[in-house]
Structure 1
């Protein structure tokens, strides 16, 4: 019998391309999945097309409706062993600088909504199931760069939150991971001029999520690991010359 047969994964923002691949891969490892998203129609179609109905529960969840988060969590059919926060929103940097709506939406989806629901989950003393929380962050949050610093700032905040949450939950033996991700061939990046040689597929990234280990920072793909390390140590004068 698969040791994960009686374990449940809660995926928040489950309609993303990476999250959908996570659903498939978690099920292959024997988990049951609660897939939560505003767009439940798309999720239902995905589950039906892939014959996953028996292993997936689909729930409506609005990341930016903070007042609904406690009720959403309280009404879960089972408290999760693993939680994946995969929700994300990207607005063009130039537009975000001139129109606060895009900036505000990125703040709410990428950071505020994450903190709201993950605080509720992490502080539930009654849930003895919880083993791991995984957040999907971005290389954009490693250093501020003029092409995407508004989006990057929300991801930097999320990574910092996850780092502190990891320390908070360490005594309970609950692991927290931050996936620091580069370019992915997904709908959120459709139409952007990105380096094709650095592009990763959703199923490739999902493998790193589903097989997350003890390390806090997980950077899929060796090319992106090199970029990550360079960004961490690059002098500010050189960072300023980056696009």
Structure 2
């Protein structure tokens, strides 16, 4: 049987870049997304270009009751599962509308954590596998500009850390990937600093290398490790005066 990768959030720019990177290495690709049939052309392109099987799987990250049937319906339990689901939202809207805030929080923490945890149990029962969660620098310290989104990503980062600790003595490895800014449809129109901004292909390459080398926590742009160390180290009285 061929090795396979499951990409949850397969419609995103990063998700499709991941699909091509793993397919280029010979992995069969399972693309999961809402309205998955809309990715038929992408799946056909992946299969034709890389000579691997590419399948589509319907999944709504906000419908936790469907997660177990979703996993059971996969053609094979994958070797690698990557959750790249994310919803940035607008902080100004989220802080005023609890319904919007709840959707951002559930899309970035509750759903990703629950599906990752379910896959972790299946991988542990099998004895092998690699789980990858895409988190964010926004989760490393709450900032006025995006604390609703950031709080959810902080939760997912903590969940991945605990899961990695729990599974450390098993054959299952857990990777946390922190991309920083990424040039995607989600950030279109934003003024992004070039040195701190990655392309989807860079994220895909970093994730692939991390799974191959069994890394634990990966910053796609290494400079972010220093940037966030400085931000985390700021005393609260100083931090309150910043515009971050």
Common fold, TM-score beyond 0.5?
A: yes
Match of 2:217 in 1: 217
Structure 1 residue 195, shift from structure 2 partner? 2.4
Match of 1:140 in 2: 138
- Partners of 1:149 and 1:56 lie apart in 2 by 37
Structure 1 residue 8, shift from structure 2 partner? 1.1
Match of 2:228 in 1: 228
Instruction: Count residues in correspondence.
Output: 239
Match of 1:117 in 2: 115
Structure 1 residue 118, shift from structure 2 partner? 1.7
CA RMSD of aligned residues (A): 1.9
Partner SS, residue 161 of structure 1: helix
Is the CA contact 1:15–1:39 (under 8 Å) kept in the aligned structure 2? no
Is the CA contact 2:19–2:29 (under 8 Å) kept in the aligned structure 1? yes
Relative to the length of structure 2, the TM-score reads 0.91
Partner SS, residue 154 of structure 1: helix
Partner SS, residue 170 of structure 1: coil
- Partners of 1:39 and 1:13 lie apart in 2 by 11
- Partners of 1:106 and 1:113 lie apart in 2 by 10
Is the CA contact 2:9–2:85 (under 8 Å) kept in the aligned structure 1? yes
List structure 1 runs of 4+ shifted beyond 4 angstroms: none
Structure 1 residue 79, shift from structure 2 partner? 0.6
Structure 1 residue 228, shift from structure 2 partner? 2.4
Partner SS, residue 225 of structure 1: helix
- Partners of 1:23 and 1:180 lie apart in 2 by 18
1:31 aligns with 2:27: yes
- Partners of 1:161 and 1:126 lie apart in 2 by 16
Structure 1 residue 127, shift from structure 2 partner? 4.8
Partner SS, residue 211 of structure 1: helix
Partner SS, residue 101 of structure 1: helix
- Partners of 1:150 and 1:215 lie apart in 2 by 28
Is the CA contact 2:124–2:172 (under 8 Å) kept in the aligned structure 1? no
Unmatched runs of 5 consecutive residues or more in structure 1: none
